Amino acid sequence: MARQLFGTDGIRGIAGEYPLDARTVHAFGMALGSVARHLGRDPEVLIGMDTRESGPWLAGQVAGGLARRGVRTRFAGVITTPGVACLTRAGDFVAGVVISASHNPYQDNGLKVFGHSGYKLPDEEERAIEQEMFRLLAGGGEVEPAAVALREEPSLDQGYLECLLETLTTGLEGLRLVVDCGNGAAWQLAPELFRRAGARVETICAEPNGRNINLGCGALHAETLREAVLARGADAGVAFDGDADRAILIAPSGRIVDGDAVLLIAARSLHAAGQLAGETVVATVMSNFGLEAGLAAEGIRLLRTPVGDKYVLEEMLRVGAVLGGEQSGHVIFSRHATTGDGLLTALRVFEISCNQRATIDDLIFGFKVFPQKLLNVRVSRRMPLEQLPRVQAAMREGERELNGAGRILVRFSGTEPLARVMVEGPDGDLVERLTERIAGAIRSEIGG
């Protein structure tokens, strides 16, 4: 049976509306509590949140539901998503709950659960929580929303920072950074982390008011940080999204350094140190062909997965890779973390920069971002692509013209009646022409 509430990143919605209304969130706490009771004699669950105004009352309802099942909670307050994953794994917690909607606007929020392993719960466990929630909400138990007053424990934040600092082999002394906190979960943690590592830090967008998270700032609006880095002559900049599981960097030249560039920097460093397991990096189908070409030049293979850091992690675990991520800035260093961690990502790149006495511009030498075109085509129905002869012919012709120096990707949207056509290649005009040709073939056969 498919999950109905849990998506690829937990339960998401508008705070105050189903499934994030008080009664349903309380039922979530009760259902999670029922699971937790089977995992320990005196189970304890960690709760953390980002800076959205809805976070505290949602946390109170989750804790209230847990308490109804005799499960204790500890509250980290505002902390990053990977911070909760780290502490859940390092401590005695049977689970960790993050209240965040990542890069979404402040009206949205979400509930994500990590197991004691630090990994997101398997689908079957999320399905079991859902089914118990539905049973409770249908009258299978008394669900009267009652929040628990939570006391924030600053020592939990400090424990997470210590875990990050322990990954350093050298410091960041003398590095001048601008940090865009996105008015989100990293607003206190990131500046403290980099200062303790030895860097000189200036912050922007570090004044959360409950409604300005991700608003014109952070990882989704890197131009704000770029202007600040150039204006202040900084050595580098980093921008985080709302829950700081992703990071976008800025080189001193003003060049935006996305997840693809970070993967190349990290892969080169690990490869040179003999620490890149299997000489393999995992990324998604959306990573630029320039990353694949740059890695190949170093003798490193790139494995691709469907879009989603969940799939990247699954493939990393399957093949034993230690590095993987997404173009969007989710990067997973599996020797140090169980999930993408923006603070850890920035720390790794800055440490490489200091160790090699090289700027970030130097570290991405030879990285050529190939022109890319993405076009959405409305369709009347979804059909296997191999059953569409005109589309197949257009794709084969395009592959011949690219001659191994690019990519063609055609896939259907999972939520909308759209076919997505993506073409990459060394020449922008060629990319444009091939994209339009393939899109035209789709319209002629199954256009909506």
Which residues have CB under 8 Å from 172's CB, separation 6+?
194, 197, 198, 199, 350, 351, 354
Nearest-10 crossing angle of helices 342-355, 189-196: 20
Burial environment of residue 3 by CB neighbours within 10 A (0 to 12, 13 to 18, 19 or more): middle
Dist CA 196 CA 191 (whole Å): 9
Catalytic residue among 54, 100, 102, 353: 102
Q: What are the strands of the beta sheet with 323-325, ordered from one edge?
A: 301-305, 280-284, 323-325, 331-333
Check if the beta carbon of residue 282 is closer than 8 Å to that of residue 319: yes
> In 10 A of CB 41, how many CB atoms?
5
> In 10 A of CB 174, how many CB atoms?
10
Q: What are the strands of the beta sheet with 44-49, ordered from one edge?
A: 11-14, 108-115, 95-99, 44-49, 72-78
CA distances from 55 to 62, 88, 165, 185 (A): 11, 19, 28, 11
Q: What's the CA dihedral at 327, 331, 334, 338 to 10 degrees?
A: -110
For 368-406, give one letter per residue: b (16+ CB within 10 A) or e. ebbbbbebebebeeeeeeeebeebeebbeebeebbeeeb
The 8-class DSSP code of residue 275 comes to -
Active site residue 380: no
Q: Which helix (H) or strand (E) holds 65?
A: helix 55-68
Instruction: Please list the active-site residues.
Output: 102
